[in-house]
Structure 1
Amino acid sequence: MAQPHDKYTYRVTWSEDDAEYVGLCAELPSLSWLARTPETALRGIRKLVREVVADLRRHAEPVPAPLATRHFSGKFMVRVPPAVHRQLAIEAAESGVSLNRLVSAALSRST
């Protein structure tokens, strides 16, 4: 049976400051692992996360749920300044779409 740490969101990126690859885990953002190769950085962060999750369990502390297993409703609220809200409402009206559709399309293009 897969453990929660097996389902976590891992990423490896280059760190110019450290001149090495850094392994990261989205669910535990305070952790990182530096290595000379991306493969070693991934192995390192996965091992570190496994150890941290085991330690959290030993001390009966909450273990973060993997993002991959969470349910997302597709709704979230964003607060913007009134002038931005007005400008977006104008753009939506001029485009003949709802404000929601305008913003959703803009967010989809940025990913």
Structure 2
Amino acid sequence: MNAQHYTYRVIWSEEDGEFVGLCAEFPGLSWLAPKMEDALGGIARIVGRVVRDLRKQGETVPEPISARRYSGRFQVRIPPQRHRLLAVQAAEQGISLNRLVSDRLA
């Protein structure tokens, strides 16, 4: 697994006064830096080290989100009253309940 294939993002931290590099597949890791590009480089380097260490120890290495397959389906539990209300709204708009919910999520 290539550490560059993981999902990275950089955010500004008012509290720290620096940029924070994050990796979705390794939520416990972060890297602070005064420059955005340094925060990204720092988190990528630390993830690379962690991946190497996990492999060396025979531990499971998380699969990058980009490599995972998604069906496009997931289940959500909502109160029956909300379900009814959404079904009515979908019927009034002449669309499926699935379409209504998908559009709202977008």
TM bucket (normalised to shorter chain) is: over 0.9
CA shift, 1:86, in A, is: 1.4
Q: Distance in 2 between matches of 1:24 and 1:32?
A: 5
- What residue is the counterpart of 2:89 in the other structure? 91
- Matching residue's letter, 1:6: Q
Determine whether 1:33 maps to 2:18: no
CA shift, 1:51, in A, is: 0.6
Q: Distance in 2 between matches of 1:4 and 1:103?
A: 36
Q: Distance in 2 between matches of 1:59 and 1:90?
A: 55
CA shift, 1:4, in A, is: 2.8
Q: Secondary structure at the match of 1:47?
A: helix
The normalised TM-score by structure 1 is 0.91
Does the 8 Å CA contact 1:27/1:67 hold for their aligned counterparts? Answer: yes
- Matching residue's letter, 1:52: V
After TM superposition, the runs of 4+ consecutive aligned structure 1 residues lying more than 2 A away are none
Q: Secondary structure at the match of 1:33?
A: strand
- What residue is the counterpart of 1:73 in the other structure? 71
Q: Secondary structure at the match of 1:44?
A: helix
- Matching residue's letter, 1:20: E
* RMSD of aligned residue pairs (Cα, Å): 0.9
Q: Write out aligned runs for 1:9-88 (5 A).
A: 9-88=7-86
5+ residue gaps in structure 1? Answer: none
Q: Distance in 1 between matches of 2:16 and 2:80?
A: 41
Alignment coverage as a number of residue pairs: 106
Determine whether 1:8 maps to 2:2: no
Does the 8 Å CA contact 1:4/1:65 hold for their aligned counterparts? Answer: no
The normalised TM-score by structure 2 is 0.95
Q: Percent identity?
A: 58
